[in-house]
Structure 1
Amino acid sequence: MTVSKSLEMEPNRSNAGSIFIKSQHAKPVKIPRDIDLSRQVAIVTGASTGLGFHSCRHLLSLHLSHLIMPVRSLERGEDAASKLRKEFPAANIQVAMLEMSSYESIQAFVTRMHSERSRLDIVILNAGVSRMDYAVIEDTGHEEIFQVNYLSTVLLSVLILPLLKLKSPASAPGRLTIVNSGTALFAKFPNRHERPLLKSFDNKATWSSTGTYPCSKLLGHYFIAQLIRYVDAKDVIVNCVDPGLCKGTGLSRDVSGVLSIFYSLTKSMIGRSPEVGSSTFIDAAVVKGKESHGCFVMDWKITP
């Protein structure tokens, strides 16, 4: 049975503050410029702004031939794509509709990719949400952070994996990288003993943004640890990555008041630039090899 190298490593028992500060001051590892993604096809979700957009720029700078940008707003997606087309005129850049809060939209997107694409090499699942107020997705009945960051991401991963296996060349495995967060290391998981467990994440009485977001990311770790029992690295390499705290992202746009001031000050002092933060995606999805299968990549290295 395949076991993640991350699970074989000794857990980091340092306190949250120490891990965070050390991570933010980690020396960035440059993307090797001799990597050539010519003829390859990549999908990057959440690509219209922030880290998703900059990860697209990184891929295209490595001569990626075809980029697919699934977005919830076609207008914003086309605006982002037009900027990339001007910078990389030789690339084929396509915008597609994908609403991560909708199972129907996720299934429709994968069906479209299956029918339209003869090749698929890289998938980076970057779309996620963080908010300060409790909200329920009407179509599914689940709390929004739990829905988008975990349930929908799991569904999209499971549906896209067969395409990566089928449509990547025999000479190289497909790549699936799920954007995660270092906050998973600090998740309290107060509802771990609740039954049914998944339903307990929708309980408004026990909900908190600072509790639910890390838990949604921790569940992502559990998912990948189990997923690699069924996915061989020779077919698709699966891993997850933490970009660190970064400037220029919309993830904390919902934060207000004193917490907003704290976030802004922290980002301004030690936040990574979007270019540096998104380079972690490329490191996990392109640079790292089979040794990263099932692993958590943080600060450009495999970590527990």
Structure 2
Amino acid sequence: MSTFPSPGTQFCERQAGLPAGLSLSSKVAIITGSNAGLGFESAKQLLALNLSHLILAVRSVEKGEAAAAKLRQSTPKATIEVWKLDMCSYVSIQAFAERVGKELTRLDIALLNAGLVKPSFELVKETGHEESMQVNYLSTVLLALLLLPHLQTKRAPTTSPGKLTIVNSGLSLTGKLPLNPKNPSQPILTSFDDAKTFSSTTWYNTSKTLMHLFLWKLTEFVSADDVVVNIVDPGYVKGTESVSNMPKVTALVAKGFAAVTGRSVETGASTYVDAVAVKGRESHGCFLTSWRVHPFVPFLYTPEGKELMERLWEETMAELAFAGPNEILSSQSKG
């Protein structure tokens, strides 16, 4: 997903280079939403670093195979597979994770890039939740939790931890929870499911904000020695598909902004590569933007923010209880 810039970074930061001799030879990676845009470009860049095995996790297998064919032309020695993954379906996500467990003997990198901007309110039939919040937060959290054990146990038998990177947005820093001030104790997750209060911009921003809260809490259970987990903002990137899903006025503003300041897809994708292949334990539990660690959404540093984080965590664990998230986390080593 392309995003507007984080404050002060889009205009002054230069692309970080790669360490000399960096190689992903023998490593296995999964990239979601990888048939086009930033996902596809990050696949190209990881393969250029000699990545041995790549799984393109996509909703449309047909589009995924077309993308894979292009990648195979430039990197014929790599193994490139296309696996079905529908981020609007818990069943599909569970089936995907089960396939990882059965078919992959190794997994080093998971780059969760799939996300969306919705111009209008729509509920996911299977879950009953608003679609952008479903995909950008709940489904991404489920997939992350299900992949954690594989990233811990299927990684190379060395001191190198697995890498789990979730694509985020600079707009997450402006997110506000849609809670009714007259009823501040209302459930956080269901507050997004009201068509009367829906705002395409606000819902997208806040769906990304929720991931800040989740990541902060997640690091209480996951050791950087096992799996390094971080979130990354690619900055505002021109030439991606997300603008077509924005409301018309917002899309016009976005296109104008992109014409002046937008990063290229290649530059945006380089932030992903930096997060999964360059950054190490120092990035565990961090929000990365413009190739650097950046503070989380400001309210998270307040007592009220910490309370919201705990509430969101409890609600998320309850929502995903069918997949046993607490059991998964209790099995994770903390050193």
- Decide: shared fold, TM above 0.5: yes
Corresponding position of 1:134? 121
- Do the aligned partners of residues 18 and 272 (structure 1) sit closer, same or farther apart at CA in structure 2, a change above 3 Å counting? closer
Corresponding position of 2:18? 31
Corresponding position of 2:187? 196
Q: Secondary structure at the match of 1:128?
A: coil
Q: Counterparts of 1:200 and 1:105 in 2: how far apart (Å)?
A: 25
How many Å apart are 1:27 and its aligned residue? 1.1
- Structure 2 counterparts to residues 31-180 of structure 1, below 5 A: 31-171=18-158, 172-180=160-168
Q: Is the 8 A contact 1:47 1:56 kept in 2?
A: yes
Corresponding position of 1:263? 254
Q: Is the 8 A contact 1:25 1:270 kept in 2?
A: no
* Runs of 5+ unmatched residues, structure 1: 1-16
Q: Which has the higher contact order (CA 8 A, sep 6+)?
A: 1
How many Å apart are 1:247 and its aligned residue? 1.2
Q: Counterparts of 2:146 and 2:238 in 1: how far apart (Å)?
A: 32
Question: Given the alignment of the two structures, is residue 205 of structure 1 paired with residue 192 of structure 2, yes or no?
Answer: no
How many Å apart are 1:264 and its aligned residue? 1.1
Q: Counterparts of 2:121 and 2:5 in 1: how far apart (Å)?
A: 30
How many Å apart are 1:194 and its aligned residue? 4.6
How many Å apart are 1:136 and its aligned residue? 0.8
How many Å apart are 1:38 and its aligned residue? 0.6
Corresponding position of 2:329? none
Deviation string for 1:66-113 (max 9, x for gaps)? 000010001100000000000001100000000000000000000001
Q: Is the 8 A contact 2:64 2:82 kept in 1?
A: yes
Question: Given the alignment of the two structures, is residue 250 of structure 1 paired with residue 238 of structure 2, yes or no?
Answer: no
Deviation string for 1:87-142 (max 9, x for gaps)? 00110000000000000000000000100000000000000010111111111111
Corresponding position of 2:232? 241
Corresponding position of 1:226? 217
Q: Secondary structure at the match of 1:252?
A: helix
* Runs of 5+ unmatched residues, structure 2: 296-335
Equivalent residue letter for 2:14: K
Question: Given the alignment of the two structures, is residue 181 of structure 1 paired with residue 172 of structure 2, yes or no?
Answer: no
Equivalent residue letter for 1:170: P
Corresponding position of 1:6? none
The TM-score with structure 2 as length reference comes to 0.83
Q: Counterparts of 1:40 and 1:33 in 2: how far apart (Å)?
A: 18
Equivalent residue letter for 1:202: D
Identity %: 48
The TM-score with structure 1 as length reference comes to 0.92
How many Å apart are 1:37 and its aligned residue? 0.6
Q: Secondary structure at the match of 2:145?
A: helix
Deviation string for 1:256-278 (max 9, x for gaps)? 43332211111121111010001
- Do the aligned partners of residues 252 and 237 (structure 1) sit closer, same or farther apart at CA in structure 2, a change above 3 Å counting? same
Q: Is the 8 A contact 1:194 1:200 kept in 2?
A: no
The total of aligned residue pairs comes to 288
Q: Secondary structure at the match of 1:68?
A: strand
- Could you say what the CA RMSD is over the residues aligned between the two structures, in angstroms? 1.5
